[in-house]
Amino acid sequence: MRIALGLEYDGSNFSGWQSQKGVRTVQATLEQALSAVANEPVTVITAGRTDAGVHAAAQVVHFDTATFRLEHNWVFGGNANLLPEVAILWAQPVNEAFHARFSAIARHYRYIILNRRARPAIANRRVTWYCQPLSVTKMKEAGAFLVGEHDFSSFRAKACQAKSPVRNVHYLEVTRQGDWIVIDISANAFLHHMVRNIAGVLMAIGKGEQPPRWAEEVLQARCRAVGGVTARPDGLYLVRVDYPDHFDLPRLSRPVTVW
């Protein structure tokens, strides 16, 4: 049978999602926990492979198993074997047509910036600290140029393995609450480092280094070399993955706040 899971994790002490030899990853940690529950090896497929230091509030995975367990056994048994930084939120049997990655129709990310002079303590490694003043008005104006279907070659990492650089950004919103600036972005899919590279461009514009229209110029250049610095992973969260209604998965739109 095929099981879908929802989970959250603090990526601060992981070398990303994908299993790698000699380092701690979320995938390997989860597979070890689920294998203990299933009493057989389990391999999971994820909706999106997050980078080292990136967090998830509503990641979705699936795995196939010959072992029958009730839904709450996958949740509580899995969590009993997981590190504190990772938690399974729900489990649900799905048919073989479901694929955590290829069935997804949208991903939603949130990037959180602490914009104040003093560095964070409680929120350390869970937000990106930027000590110089940022203009949310300019960042909003710049973000509008990136909404829609575009070639995002200027915002993809050199190591990106995606066959096409074209992505459809559904929305890009920038808001401020006190010292906190939040960038919310959704697309059908994302390229490697795409959100962090967008955040880097928006912060440069918010700082006043470039005008808002520079975001459009970077986009049109289709060259990563003109796109500025990749923002730190600390403030990035995968907050939701959308699937067609007929899969009837739990809809967890989990707000991420650190204040």
The distance between the two most distant Cα atoms of the chain, rounded to a whole number of Å, is 58
Among the listed residues 51, 179, 184, 234, the single catalytic one is 51
Query: What residues pair up with 86 in beta bridges, in sequence order?
Result: 9
Give catalytic status of residue 10 as yes or no. Answer: no
Q: Which residues contact 82 (CB under 8 A, 6 or more apart)?
A: 29, 30, 33, 88
Query: 227 with 200: CB under 8 angstroms?
Result: yes
**61 DSSP 8-state letter:** E
CB atoms within 10 A of CB 20: 13
Let me know: does 10 contact 126? Beta carbons within 8 Å: yes
Instruction: Give the closest residue to 148 by CA, choosing from 175, 174, 167, 163.
Output: 167
Contacts of 224 (CB under 8 A, 6+ apart): 153, 154, 155, 156, 157, 158, 197
Q: Which helix (H) or strand (E) holds 27?
A: helix 26-38
Residue 138 half-sphere exposure toward CB, CA atoms < 13 A = 19
Catalytic machinery residues? 51
